[in-house]
Amino acid sequence: MSQATIPWIEPVPEKRVAMRRKALLVLFGGGLTALIVGCVMLGVFRALPDQVGTIVFILAGVLPILGGLGLIPLGLLNGSVVLTTLGFAQIGIGALVGGLLKATPIDPLVVGVLLLVIGPIAAGLAMLTAAGVIVAFKQVVQLLLMRWTALILFCGGIVSIILLVWAHAFVFRYVAQLANDTTLNTSATTTFGGDLTIAELSTRFSGNWRPVAFVLWPLQFGLIRDLIAMGGVIGFISIIPLYTIWWERKVAGRIQSRLGPMRVGGWHGWAQSFADGMKLICKEDFVPPEGDGTLFRLAPYLAFVPAICAFIALPFATTYVFRDLDVALLFILAMLGIEVLGVIIAGWASNNKWSVYGAMREACQMVSYEIPMGMALLVPVMTAGALRLTDIAKLQQDGFGSWLAWNNPFCLIAFFCYYTASLASCKRAPFDLPESESELVAGFHTEYSGFRWSLFFFAEYAAMFAVSGLAVILFLGAWYGPLPLSWAPAGNDIASAVVRGLLFDGPILFILKCGLLLYVQIWIRWTLPRIRIDQVLYACIQVLLPLTMLVVLGSTFWLLFDNSAHPAFESFAKVVRGLLSLVGVVISIAIAGFIIFGFVNRRRLVGTLAIEHFPGS
């Protein structure tokens, strides 16, 4: 990198060519070797079924221990921490595998196939793929620089995650059906309490299909299913910051009459987030010598992990939810509230007065705005009569007019109160006092750098999506479209499923609504100036809190009289709902108009950096 960007350092192309050759040799050689090992071990297991236990014990238990015993002295003699750690890791893995084989009645064939067949084949394919990318580097770069690559990659990533979630749910249901099949499932159980054994699954998947039995066997355990589903959640959370960071920089540039990122990746600098991530990973992991090192290292994870946990109970559609909890709303609010602990600890552990000021501002701001935010959410909860988010969403499946934001005036006011409080909860402008770079250098994360610094922003963008998701579920129709679900095609073919997913019901609609609210948060940040801390607390204690109290009280009386026992008020409520729905239609048309206007004039700006000027600018 330095040779490419620093002009006074003479480039050495011979070194680059040599390093490229070494990398290709390692990747191709290692990949082919791993594939050969996996295929050979599969053949050995088929040819010597009676000796599988001994073979697996020697190869997966004894040999790693012997290799580790050889690496540890070598690492100590050369002063290599990597070799020493690798040696201890090999000893631990070998002891664990050997203990499982000897101390438990687990089938050695299961361990052998997972460790000596599937593992090497997967690693070999990954290494060969990396080698292919290096060989075809120029072609890959040209592909990435194409005009629509960014949009295809982003939409493809979202759709792929949705399809993977659907595929996992389908496989999990199939395994449950196998467990309930009395002709297949006998009284035999596995060591870990599973109903299905490898022998039972092998009766259904025999011959060349027997490896399927080893793949399906671990999926009967709830822990394994949860880990796979959590992988999908983390994958989606990783996409949100990557896209939102680039999006925010582009929106900021647009508002400030400049272009924003334009170089990295080609089309509008779409790969800027990846470049920033590589830069942060390579930066020095600095820990203040006078600070509390343990708490300093712990703080970013205390901020990031609760943001991930919030997605555990956040449904993206009727079946696209990790845990459909009865108290899902309370769980999400509790997880988002824990994030403040990470900020406070980060400021305190930095032993820096600017960091402590920022942390104390966050504590004061977060605790204050949690009250009106929670009270605003009481309004849709009382209207729906449930805390389960999927139950609240089902009440809004009859089209645009059934969305809770148009149910009564107090629901609409509660939506704006909640959204305002959520900006303060996520430390977004004009409530970004914990960072406040114009006063506190960088606030609570002044002393942070590299990967730990990035975790705070990953947590912030994940929390932005989570609070937007709550707003969508509780006020804006959840994952249902503006058309009534009863109008959706009822067929099971692919065309009907696509129409339902794009127009009536599905996670894509939910993500699009959340994206719109995310854009509004970005728009507000780069439009409104930062207010003072006393103004922040004044807005909460003397404006927002009394307003939400009045809204909750008004909603209570509205629900009390909006029933058949009071026909006059019930008729009045229907008229008000119709008017509010009309207001919502006007707002939606205005938003669509702004989007179309922005797309048509996407090359026009004001100022000296404009490619094309707005008329009259």
Length of the chain equals 617
15 found inside a domain? no
The band of 478, judged by pLDDT with boundaries at 50, 70 and 90, is very high
Q: Is the pLDDT of residue 523 over 60?
A: yes
Note whether 468 and 581 are same-domain residues. Answer: no
390, 314 contact by CB (below 8 A): no
92 found inside a domain? no
Q: Which of 38-52, 336-350, 378-392, 591-605 has the highest mean pLDDT?
A: 378-392
- In this prediction, what percent of the chain has a pLDDT beyond 70? 93
Nearest to 167 by CA among 118, 229, 233, 230: 229
DSSP 259: -
The band of 332, judged by pLDDT with boundaries at 50, 70 and 90, is very high
Q: Is the pLDDT of residue 617 over 60?
A: no
At residue 616, the pLDDT reads 55
125 found inside a domain? no
The pTM of this model reads 0.81
Q: Based on C-alpha coordinates, what's the Rg of the chain?
A: 29
**Averaged pLDDT score across all residues of the chain:** 84
What 3-state class would DSSP assign to 49? helix
Note whether 357 and 391 are same-domain residues. Answer: yes
Q: What's the average model confidence in pLDDT over 529-539?
A: 87
Q: Distances in Å between the alpha carbon of 483 and those of 94, 153, 436?
A: 59, 29, 43
As to burial, measured by CB atoms within 10 angstroms (0-12 exposed, 13-18 middle, 19+ buried), residue 80 is middle
First to last CA, the chain: 41
pLDDT tens-digit readout, 247-297: 899 888 888 878 788 888 777 788 888 888 888 888 888 888 888 888 999
At residue 262, the pLDDT reads 82
Q: Alpha-carbon distance 521 to 257, whole Å?
A: 19
Q: Distances in Å between the alpha carbon of 373 and those of 54, 152, 325, 540, 606?
A: 62, 37, 21, 10, 38
What 3-state class would DSSP assign to 325? coil
At residue 440, the pLDDT reads 66
Nearest to 437 by CA among 329, 334, 354, 501: 354
Note whether 352 and 492 are same-domain residues. Answer: yes
Q: Alpha-carbon distance 4 to 9, whole Å?
A: 9
Note whether 578 and 556 are same-domain residues. Answer: no
Q: Distances in Å between the alpha carbon of 117 and those of 28, 96, 146, 203?
A: 18, 18, 38, 21
Note whether 469 and 600 are same-domain residues. Answer: no
DSSP 220: G
Could you say which of 536, 561, 586 is where a domain stops? Answer: 561
161 found inside a domain? no
At residue 599, the pLDDT reads 80
Q: What's the average model confidence in pLDDT over 188-212?
A: 72
Note whether 517 and 606 are same-domain residues. Answer: no
Q: Alpha-carbon distance 575 to 581, whole Å?
A: 10
To which H or E segment does residue 612 belong? strand 612-613
Note whether 543 and 427 are same-domain residues. Answer: yes
At residue 33, the pLDDT reads 92
Q: What's the average model confidence in pLDDT over 387-397?
A: 92
455, 296 contact by CB (below 8 A): no
86, 71 contact by CB (below 8 A): yes
What 3-state class would DSSP assign to 181? coil
7 found inside a domain? no
The band of 614, judged by pLDDT with boundaries at 50, 70 and 90, is low
Q: What's the average model confidence in pLDDT over 376-380?
A: 94
- In this prediction, what percent of the chain has a pLDDT beyond 90? 24
Q: Is the pLDDT of residue 615 over 70?
A: no
Q: What's the average model confidence in pLDDT over 312-324?
A: 86
107 found inside a domain? no
At residue 465, the pLDDT reads 94
How many domains does the chain contain in total? 2
Note whether 356 and 454 are same-domain residues. Answer: yes
pLDDT tens-digit readout, 546-579: 999 999 999 999 999 988 899 999 999 999 999 9
Note whether 339 and 325 are same-domain residues. Answer: yes
As to burial, measured by CB atoms within 10 angstroms (0-12 exposed, 13-18 middle, 19+ buried), residue 607 is exposed
Note whether 583 and 556 are same-domain residues. Answer: no
Q: Which of 119-123, 201-205, 321-325 has the lowest mean pLDDT?
A: 201-205
pLDDT tens-digit readout, 401-422: 999 999 999 999 999 999 999 9
What 3-state class would DSSP assign to 566? coil
Phi, psi of 367 (to 5 degrees): -65, -35
At residue 608, the pLDDT reads 62
Q: Distances in Å between the alpha carbon of 55 and those of 207, 217, 273, 495, 556?
A: 21, 21, 47, 51, 71
pLDDT tens-digit readout, 483-501: 998 898 887 777 887 888 8
The reply to whether omega before 430 is within 30° of 0 (cis) is: yes
Q: Alpha-carbon distance 385 to 443, whole Å?
A: 41
Q: Is the pLDDT of residue 9 over 60?
A: no
Domain with 582 in it: 562-611
Q: Which of 155-164, 359-368, 538-547 has the lowest mean pLDDT?
A: 155-164
The band of 7, judged by pLDDT with boundaries at 50, 70 and 90, is very low
Note whether 425 and 571 are same-domain residues. Answer: no
570 found inside a domain? yes
Note whether 509 and 587 are same-domain residues. Answer: no
Nearest to 44 by CA among 121, 116, 100, 97: 116
The band of 610, judged by pLDDT with boundaries at 50, 70 and 90, is low
105 found inside a domain? no
Nearest to 336 by CA among 297, 298, 362: 362
pLDDT tens-digit readout, 130-151: 888 888 877 877 777 777 777 7
Q: What's the average model confidence in pLDDT over 149-159?
A: 76
Q: Distances in Å between the alpha carbon of 38 and those of 34, 47, 64, 120?
A: 6, 14, 17, 5
Q: Is the pLDDT of residue 213 over 70?
A: yes
